[in-house]
Amino acid sequence: MNLSTRYLGLPLVNPIVIGASPFCDNVAVARQLQDAGAAALVMHSLFEEQIEAEQRALTHHVESSAESSAEATSFYPAYAEYQLSPDNYVRQLGRLKADLTIPVIASLNGARPGGWTEHAQRLESAGADALELNLYQLATDRAVDGEEIEERMRETVQAVVRSVRIPVAVKLSPFHTAPANFVAQLEAAGAAGVVLFNRFYQPDFNLEELEVQPALKLSESSELLLRLRWLAIISPHAGCSLAASGGIHASEDVVKALLAGAHCTQVVSVVLRHGPRVISSLLGGLRQWMERKGYEDVGQLRGALNLSRCPDPAAHERANYIRILQSWRV
Ligand SMILES: Cc1cc2nc3c(=O)[nH]c(=O)nc-3n(C[C@H](O)[C@H](O)[C@H](O)COP(=O)(O)O)c2cc1C
């Protein structure tokens, strides 16, 4: 049975990739993930703010930078609070490359063009097989419209793509007005793949302390449905690689993401919950399902349930929406 796939032009032994997360910080854990069958590893992100802070530090203007507002910068973690400094990140990438045989994908997180994008070159030089650029941004400013935000994002992608020769994937939020069109724009900007989707951390309220309570809850399988919908819509026309991220917890979830059109699936929460060995059971379940259904190659699954044969996906989705609401009786 052939589980191999290609993602960002990289050959992967199977479609299960460790998504961006702290697993990369410990080489022994990364090795366990590889031994359990993980096909590639995405490092956690280096943040635009972190790289810019280092660049300012290098020119001795950390606290007195003219262009940074003291109030805004005070929200951010102090330089030492980040998991890895940009230098240590590059060193850790080197260690992972020396120890692992699977591809290692470095990750940058930022949505505005700027000098920080040049850091991509250092990641390429340190041996990264590809880059993932996470465009995390919450649009809170009433004065800035979607077109301006997406224009900045496109410029950022272009700047990163132009500074390296390795492939660049873009990790997207589901909250774009026209995700299919935006993916086409990212392809035109040089993206070799997109990761659907970013998972926003959502702060809760603490009713005793009357405070906002930041919380990072692990995902559930139900979150995969949003990914399936957009993979099924985008995959028939995408010229780039597609990764599903968010809500992959069982081998059935891997199968569904492939059927919707993903080239690979990224997992984080399930591994945080159950440890590295869960990868081998996900792969075992994938093999069993394929055997039961008579598939010999994961390539046969890819996109089999996408909307490629649907002449009007928008009408199809709307019709299903109306039908499902009408099916409820009280
Ligand atoms: C502890 C933790 C750290 C994460 N760090 C990053 C990160 O640095 N960069 C990034 O793009 N995503 C990061 N993510 C998001 C994951 O890569 C992934 O997109 C998300 O958890 C959804 O996948 P899951 O349902 O398999 O957990 C992190 C998630 C967790 C739980």
pLDDT at 91: 95
Region 102-125: what's the mean pLDDT?
Answer: 93
Q: What atom of ligand 1 comes closest to residue 42's alpha carbon?
A: 17
- What does the buried/exposed string (b/e) look like for 165-182 if buried means 16 or more CB atoms within 10 Å of the residue's CB? ebbbbbbbbeebeebeeb
In angstroms, what is the span from residue 219 Cα to ligand 1's centroid? 10
CATH number for the domain harbouring residue 124? 3.20.20.70
CA of 236 to the centre of ligand 1 (A): 26
pLDDT of 154 > 90? The answer is yes
Nearest CA to ligand 1 atom 7: 44
Distance of CA 321 from the midpoint of ligand 1 (Å)? 30
For 189-230, the pLDDT digits (tens) are 999 999 999 987 888 999 999 999 988 889 999 999 999 999
Ligand 1 center–CA 139 separation, angstroms: 20
- Interval between CA 42 and ligand 1 midpoint (Å): 10
Ligand 1 atom 29: the closest Cα is on which residue? 21
- CA of 218 from ligand 1 middle (Å) equals 9
Q: Quick: pLDDT tens for 7-27.
A: 999 999 999 999 999 999 999
Q: Tell me the pTM.
A: 0.92
Question: Ligand 1 within 6 A of 122 CB?
Answer: no
Atom of ligand 1 at shortest range from CA of 266: 26
Please tell me the residue having the least CA distance from ligand 1 atom 16: 20
**One-letter amino acid of 148:** E
According to the model, what pLDDT value does residue 108 have?
Answer: 96
Ligand 1 pocket check for 248: Cβ under 6 Å: yes
177 Cα: distance to centroid of ligand 1 (angstroms) = 23
pLDDT in tens, 220-270: 999 999 999 999 999 999 999 999 999 999 999 999 999 999 999 999 999
> Separation of 200 CA from ligand 1 center, angstroms?
9
Domain extent for 9:
5-326
Q: Which atom of ligand 1 is nearest to the CA of 22?
A: 3
Mean of per-residue pLDDT scores for the chain: 91
| Residue 310 clears pLDDT 90, i.e. is over it | no
For the stretch 308-320, what's the b/e string if a residue is b when 16 or more beta carbons lie within 10 angstroms of its beta carbon?
Answer: eeeeebeeeeeee
247 lines ligand 1 (CB under 6 A): yes
**Strands 104-109 and 193-196, how do they pair?**
unpaired
Give 305 Cα–ligand 1 centroid separation in angstroms. Answer: 26
Peptide bond between residue 205 and the one before it cis (omega within 30 degrees of 0): no
pLDDT digits over 134-152, tens only? 998 888 899 999 999 999 9
Cβ(227) – ligand 1 distance below 6 Å: no
Mutate to test the pocket of ligand 1, among 16, 17, 21 (most ligand atoms within 8 A of CB): 21
202: left (phi over 0), alpha (psi -120 to 50) or beta: beta
Query: H or E stretch including 18?
Result: strand 16-21
The encoded tokens of residue 228 equal 């399936």
Domain count of the chain? 1
Q: Could you tell me if 7 and 42 are in contact, meaning their C-beta atoms sit under 8 angstroms apart? A: no
Q: Which residues are CB-neighbours of 114 under 8 A, at least 6 positions away?
A: 48, 52
Which single residue is written with the structure tokens 């419209």? 145
Mutation choice for ligand 1 from 200, 264, 268, 282, CB with most ligand atoms inside 8 A: 268
